[in-house]
Amino acid sequence: RISRSISTVKLPDLPYDYGALEPYISGQIMELHHTKHHAAYVANLNKALEQQAEAEAKGDVSKVITLQGAIKFNGGGHINHDIFWTNLVPPKDFEPPSGELKALIEGQWKSLDNFINIFNAQTAAVQGSGWGWLGYNKGSGRLEITAMPNQDPLSITGLVPLLGVDVWEHAYYLQYKNVRPDYLKAIWNVVNWKNVADRLAAAKK
Amino acid sequence: MAFELPALPYDYGTLEPHVDSQTMLIHHTKHHQAYVNNLNAALDKFPELKDLGLVEINKVVGTDKLPGDVATTIRNNGGGHYNHTFFWKVMTNPSNTNGPSGAVKEAIEAAFGSVDEMKAKFNAAAAGRFGSGWAWLGVKEDGSLAITSTPNQDNPLMASLPDSTPMVPILGLDVWEHAYYLKYQNRRPEYIAAWWNVVNWEQVASNFDAAKTGAVLL
């Protein structure tokens, strides 16, 4: 019999105040998104992991299997939002992409604007809840734009997540209502390209 | 003949305070309207599909009756148009609602033990649907009542989808965040609890009577 301890997952702090991304993302949304939605993923993930550990200790494989949905939903929710907060930066600190990241984007999409248009078109088209992602393909050394449903983490595709845009309605509805494309235009004012570049550099190691 | 956005059977503010008027306005004039527009655009090139009618279009989702390049668009928007058309009608002025009676009440009690037990199961399905989707109470092929939830704009008419519980819906609840976020934010269970105050049990009874004969009211 193997026994092990589980570590609990913690809700990370935001690297900025709730209102810091205004006017592009409202302080009300940021606060709800962090303290309610992300916090719930963390709490539910911890609960599911604890139940899984108990089931494992009892040898109850059936129970372990039934918990996988909750682990995927809530674990994915935690992973995705953990990345998302670091992908954003207050508009006063915004800097466009530079160096290798800029070269890769321009090499593949001709210009940053063209990349954004294509990313936004794909991300706006996500049915229901999901995320738009810029990912890094370690095999090909290329960037890829893709979308994931619900809270499925990008990592399950093999791509390394660099930049995620949450298009669950809770991410924008209070401010943009049904007009998801307006949210997608606005968010590029608060994308933390330095963080994206750091993630790319880490992926290439 | 293009599909059209149906008028609401009541004013935007009629379901207050349980469902707020701003949500009803945006839900109807923006979200539902978009499903209608997108469905019409997709069917433009396939007039024979348009002639099937909305219920039949939903029933053939997941079969080869839908051409590959529009199959997903029709699933999302044909589903969205049926679901919301159905939804507006199973709600009514909160002062109009008395709870189920007659044949549908008996069927509920037969399937779930009591109306309260049915509500508890329905609430669990609605709260437990991860991401966007709907919760449904419907009549199965064997005539019994069951509860299920579906993702995105799927519905139990789409019998050919894998994992589907084929049913004729008699009651349904939209749990996409746009259905409740302006008033309830993340508090979906509170929205679900409040919504029971606006259920149109007369329409549910009509839906049930039709479903027992195999018909789908629209």
For residues B111-127, give the mean pLDDT. Answer: 98
Q: Using the beta-carbon criterion (under 8 Å), do B181 and A130 form an inter-chain contact?
A: no
- Residues A79-128 pLDDT 10s: 999 999 999 999 999 999 999 999 999 999 999 999 999 999 999 999 99
Tens-place pLDDT, residues B148-172: 999 999 999 999 999 899 999 999 9
- Picking from A149-153, B63-67, B152-156, B170-174, which range would have the lowest pLDDT averaged per residue? B63-67
Inter-chain CB pairs, A–B, below 8 Å: 54
Q: Tell me how far apart the alpha carbons of residues A63 and A75 are, in angstroms, rounded to a whole number.
A: 18
Q: If 0-12 CB within 10 Å is exposed, 13-18 middle and 19+ buried, where does residue B39 land?
A: buried
State whether residue B24 is helix, strand or coil. helix
pTM value is 0.96
**Complex ipTM value:** 0.95
Distance between CA atoms of residues A11 and B12, nearest Å: 39
Q: How many Cα atoms within 13 Å fall on the side-chain side of residue B150?
A: 28
State residue A141's pLDDT score. Answer: 97
Q: Looking at per-residue confidence, does B137 or A2 come out higher?
A: B137
Cβ atoms of B131 and A150 closer than 8 Å: yes
Structural contact between residues B171 and B207, judged by C-beta atoms closer than 8 angstroms: yes
A177, A179, A183, best to mutate vs chain B, most B CBs in 10 Å? A177
Determine, for residues A32 and B185 on separate chains, whether the beta-carbon distance falls below 8 Å: yes
Question: What is residue A96's predicted lDDT score, i.e. its pLDDT?
Answer: 98
- B186 lies within 8 A of chain A by CB: yes
Nearby residues of B21 by Cβ (< 8 Å), 6 or more positions away: B11, B12, B13, B15
Of B34, B132, B185, nearest to A128 by CB-CB distance is: B132
- Write the CB contacts of A116 (distance below 8 Å, at least 6 apart in sequence): A188
Chain B positions touching A147 (Cβ under 8 A) are none
CB contact at 8 A, B205 and B105: no
User: What pLDDT, on a 0 to 100 scale, did the predictor assign at position B48?
Assistant: 87
